[in-house]
Amino acid sequence: MTTPKSPSLIDALIPIAALVVMLSLSVFIFGSDSSSGPNQIVLTMAAAIASIVAIRNGHKWGGYRQVNGSKLLESVNEHIQAPPIPTRSLQQSWPIPAAILAGL
């Protein structure tokens, strides 16, 4: 059984760069309507790209079901004590820098 390798800097930046580019294109193409659907598709595509990078680095898909010997959902439920992030305000504020980038 091979040990998964740590991602290189390029491997770590690929999903982030893809997300920024795709979100910028989404805002450029759909404008203010991008938050009603296209952004969710872009986020799903970026997650798929991150999964591909992880699998390429030797991580097994079944390994995501286990976290430190316990099930992933149980681990998340134990650590969910953190205060909620104001996601709606973040969703409303990110198109501003994306629009600036699209204008460059």
Residues of the chain under the 70 pLDDT cut: 1-2, 61-104
pTM: 0.59
Number of H helices, E strands in the chain: 5, 2
Residue 100 lies in a domain: no
Q: Which domain holds residue 11?
A: 1-74
Residue 16 lies in a domain: yes
**CB 31, CB 102: distance < 8 Å:** no
pLDDT recorded at residue 51: 86
Residue 49 lies in a domain: yes
| Residue from 69, 70, 49 nearest 7 by CA | 49
Residues 68-84 pLDDT 10s = 555 656 655 655 655 55
Residue 30 lies in a domain: yes
pLDDT recorded at residue 22: 92
Q: Domains in the chain: how many in total? A: 1
